[in-house]
Amino acid sequence: EVQLVESGGGLVQPGRSLRLSCAASGFNFYDYAMHWVRQVPGKGPQWVSGINWNGGSIGYADSVKGRFIISRDNAENSLYLQMNSLRSEDTALYYCVKDESTEWELRKGYLYYGMDVWGQGTTVTVSS
């Protein structure tokens, strides 16, 4: 069974840092791109960041660019999100999500399959 388990969330003060982790199991982790997606209760999901199968291609939403860093360890079947300079608007439930492709980015001429498996999420609260 494909499983994604997030950890590392919590309460943090504005301006501080937090590192999220995602443990993957049940599939060949190194074959797939991965994403972080966040959601505020009552709102739609928001894509945060994506990384391709080997970490060679990375993308960020404008709202987190320059503050968040996504990475992966294929030997450990793990995905990470280093969140720096946190703001109150970063408060959300953060999901680790598997892509159906090797690349996080839709390439010209390719069909879009998108995200297929989600974790249950870890809550990040940024407040003083």
Partner 1 sequence: QSVLTQPPSASGTPGQRVTISCSGSSSNVGSVSVNWYQHLPGTAPKLLIYSSNQRPSGVPDRFSGSKSGTSASLAISGLQSEDEADYYCASWDDSLNGPVFGGGTKLTVL
Residues of this chain that bind partner 1 (CB under 8 A): 4, 35, 37, 43-47, 50, 59, 61, 95, 100, 105-106, 111-121
Quote the CA–CA distance of 112 and 9 in Å, as a whole number: 30
CB of 77 to partner 1, least distance (A): 17
Of the two residues 78 and 93, which places its CB atom closer to partner 1 in the complex? 93
CB of 17 to partner 1, least distance (A): 23
CB of 112 to partner 1, least distance (A): 5
Of the two residues 46 and 71, which places its CB atom closer to partner 1 in the complex? 46
Quote the CA–CA distance of 11 and 52 in Å, as a whole number: 29
CB of 51 to partner 1, least distance (A): 13
Quote the CA–CA distance of 115 and 35 in Å, as a whole number: 8
User: How many CA atoms are closer than 13 Å to the CA of 13, on its beta-carbon side?
Assistant: 3
How far, CA to CA in Å, does 32 sit from each of 11, 101, 120?
Answer: 31, 6, 19
Of the two residues 12 and 79, which places its CB atom closer to partner 1 in the complex? 79
Of the two residues 14 and 40, which places its CB atom closer to partner 1 in the complex? 40
Quote the CA–CA distance of 85 and 60 in Å, as a whole number: 15
